[in-house]
Amino acid sequence: MSVSHVLAPHAPLFAGIESAAPDALLALIGLHAADPRSGKIDVGVGVYRDEAGATPVLAAVKAAEHQLLEQQTSKSYLGPEGDVQFTRLLADILFGTEFARAPGLVGLQTPGGTGALRVAAELLAQAGAGRQVWVGLPTWANHIPLLAAAGLRVREHRFFDGIRSDLDFDGMIAALSEAQAGDILLLHGCCHNPTGISFSHDQWKQLAGLCVSRSLFPLIDIAYQGLGDGLREDAVGMRLFLEHVPEALIAYSCDKNFGLYRERVGALWAWTRSREVGGRVMSQLCALARVNWSMPPDHGAALVRLILSDDALRASWMSELEAMRQRIAALRVHLGSSHPKLAPIARQKGMFAMLPILPDAVAALRQEHAIYMASNGRINVAGLSESSIDRFCDAIRSYLSDGQSA
Ligand code: LMR
């Protein structure tokens, strides 16, 4: 008897599965690669590029890789919390050494900032059925799908004024008057993706007051530390905020500031009210890590640990990061001075900026000028160079609109 006669017939499972919608942002990588035109400009996906358009491995990372190759004696498991020393050293960079030692602060290594966000969202979903998370628009393309996939109900609030191409802080606060006690508020720690907005210190304090008075739980996503105003400067506002709120979750990415994109290096911290609460929260975060990826990949986090624990490597990394930051800042100034409608870009921070441009224009720029950007008009400023920026500005000039209300 053949096997097919023994097994009971069953309905074909895969046949009923529909294709997932393609990720429009990641699709740009393939579209740009397939374009044979010379002089094409890629301001799509957010990776840092140097003047020559390359995304090189940082010298500090290369040196740390050599050290790791020489020194590593085992590839045995580390555990769901990953590399504990990595998380400690990174906490010093993010929170400052004093806050980083606070008894209520606990953290673990995660696969990228995305892994951190996913575990954070799952913890929040488990902590209360049907929790709502407030997300300002526009936001990183993966935020809303990720938060919804973890079981949170997403509520959108006003954040960006598309006419002025700037933060509408009053509009944001007014929209959040609808938030209920226990709701979650997603905040970008600095260099907002996609608008390049960093909150002022005063705005951070007002947001802390709002979270305390309305009992909102803050979830902070910080993925660009060091690419806005500087390593310490980009964290100061968030540090002020944390001094005023009793609880928070903070997701961190080393993709951009260490150039470790494909190595998937991130961390998640919980700011809790006490060592005892922190211990319980940490045990849940580890349990969530265990069911998601068991243990995070080691290589990239080991490199960050080596860089941060060696004075010479740390200094090398900091100067490379500073060079990236200054290149982006110079490109922002150039863009901002090229047209009055782009002026806010010079004041905004980090890799990303929103152009006041309609989706049809984005498509036309791709077809006619081989310029690749996200369909909402977001550009990766670091994709430009001093040799391409004037051509870029000339190409977009006739497409600049009076802005869209977000
Ligand atoms: C981006 O926003 O372009 C990057 O953060 C890459 C990504 O994962 O979306």
Three state DSSP letters for the chain: CCHHHHCCCCCCCHHHCCCCCCCHHHHHHHHHHHCCCCCCEECCCCCCCCCCCCCCCCHHHHHHHHHHHHHCCCCCCCCCCCCHHHHHHHHHHHHCHHHHCCCCEEEEEECHHHHHHHHHHHHHHHHCCCCEEEEEECCCCCHHHHHHHCCCEEEEEECEECCCCEECHHHHHHHHHHCCCCCEEEEECCCCCCCCCCCCHHHHHHHHHHHHHHCCEEEEEECCCCCCCCCCHHHHHHHHHHHHCCCEEEEEECCCCCCCHHHCCEEEEEECCCHHHHHHHHHHHHHHHHHHCCCCCCHHHHHHHHHHCCHHHHHHHHHHHHHHHHHHHHHHHHHHHHCHHHHHHHHCCCCEEECCCCHHHHHHHHHHHCEECCCCCEEEHHHCCCCCHHHHHHHHHCCCCCCCCC
Last residue of a domain, one of 288, 312, 336: 312
CA of 365 to the centre of ligand 1 (A): 21
How far away, in angstroms, is 30 Cα from ligand 1 center?
Answer: 14
pLDDT higher than threshold 80 for residue 7: no
Crossing angle for the helix pair 233-244 and 201-214, nearest 10 degrees? 30
The two beta strands, 248-253 and 266-271, are antiparallel
- Whether residues 106 and 210 fall in one domain: yes
| pLDDT surpassing 70 at residue 149 | yes
Mean pLDDT score across all residues of the chain:
95
The mean pLDDT of 224-232, rounded to a whole number, is 98
Which of 42, 161, 183, 221 is an active site residue?
Answer: 221
Q: Domain check: are 226 and 283 in the same one? A: yes
Is residue 380 included in any domain, yes or no? yes
Residues 324, 273 share a domain: no
Ligand 1 contacts CB of residue 185 (under 6 A) = no
275-327 per-position pLDDT tens digit: 999 999 999 999 999 999 999 999 999 999 999 999 999 999 999 999 999 99
Q: Order the strands of the 184-188 sheet from edge to edge.
A: 105-110, 266-271, 248-253, 217-222, 184-188, 132-137, 153-158
CB count, 10 Å around CB of 13?
7
Residue 133 covered by a domain: yes
CB of 266 sitting under 6 A from ligand 1 = no
pLDDT band at residue 22 under the 50/70/90 scheme = confident
The answer to the question of residue 109 being in a domain is yes
Q: Which of 289, 312, 335 is the last residue of a domain?
A: 312
Overall average pLDDT of the 94-123 stretch: 97
Stretch 154-164: mean pLDDT, rounded?
96
State in Å: Cα 385 to ligand 1 middle. 20
Does 134 qualify as catalytic in the annotation? no
Split into its structural domains, the chain has a count of 2
> What pLDDT does 405 receive?
46
Q: Tell me, yes or no, whether 90 and 37 share the same domain.
A: no
Smallest CA separation from ligand 1 atom 6, residue:
46
Nearest CA to ligand 1 atom 2: 46
**Which of 42, 134, 256, 349 is the catalytic position?**
256
For residue 390, being part of any structural domain is answered with yes
pLDDT over 90, % of the chain = 92
Q: What is the CA(46)–ligand 1 centre distance, in A? A: 5
Is residue 46 lining ligand 1, measured as CB closer than 6 Å? yes
Phi and psi, residue 295, nearest 5°: -145, 145
- Is residue 327 in some structural domain? yes
In degrees rounded to 5, what are phi and psi of residue 132? -100, 140
Domain stop point among 312, 344, 372: 312
Burial of 99 (0-12, 13-18, 19+ CB in 10 A): middle
| pLDDT of 128 above 90 | no
Tell me: do 170 and 188 sit in the same domain: yes
Ligand 1 centroid, distance to 43 Cα (angstroms): 12
User: Does ligand 1 come within 6 angstroms of the Cβ of 222?
Assistant: no
**Ligand 1 pocket residue status of 352, Cβ below 6 Å:** no
pLDDT at 4 (0 to 100): 52
Q: Do residues 293 and 180 both lie within one domain?
A: yes
Distances (CA, A) of 360 to 29, 375, 403: 19, 8, 14
Mutate to test the pocket of ligand 1, among 25, 265, 376 (most ligand atoms within 8 A of CB): 25
- Same domain? For 96 and 241 the reply is yes
268: containing domain:
60-312
Does residue 406 register a pLDDT over 50?
no
- Determine the pLDDT at residue 402: 75
* Known catalytic membership, residue 221: yes
Residue 140 among the catalytic residues: yes
Q: Is residue 267 part of a domain?
A: yes
Residue 237 CA to ligand 1 centre (angstroms): 23
Select from 23, 32, 45, 144 the residue to mutate for testing ligand 1; criterion: most ligand atoms less than 8 Å from CB: 45
Give residue 230's pLDDT: 98
In a domain, 4, yes or no: no
Instruction: Check pocket membership of 140 for ligand 1, CB cut-off 6 A.
Output: yes
Average pLDDT of 233-240?
A: 98
CATH number for position 65: 3.40.640.10
Residues 167 and 34 in one domain: no
- Whether residue 146 has its Cβ less than 6 Å from ligand 1: no
Q: Tell whether ligand 1 has an atom less than 6 A from the beta carbon of residue 47.
A: no
CB 70 within 8 A of CB 281: no
What residue owns the CA closest to ligand 1's atom 5? 46
Query: Which of the following is catalytic: 42, 83, 134, 140?
Result: 140
- 181 and 241 part of one domain: yes
> 227 and 237 share a domain?
yes
Among 19-23, 268-272, 328-332, the minimum mean pLDDT is found in: 19-23
In a domain? residue 10: no
pLDDT class of 403 with cuts at 50, 70, 90: low
User: Same structural domain for residues 330 and 302?
Assistant: no
Reply yes or no on whether the pLDDT at 73 is more than 80: yes
- How many other CB atoms are found less than 10 A from the CB of residue 406? 18
**Residue 142 CB–ligand 1 contact under 6 Å:** yes
Burial of 75 (0-12, 13-18, 19+ CB in 10 A): exposed
Task: Reply yes or no on whether the pLDDT at 3 is more than 60.
Answer: no
Domain shared by 348 and 277, yes or no: no
Least confident of 10-19, 31-40, 114-123, 240-249: 10-19
Domain harbouring 342, CATH code:
3.90.1150.10
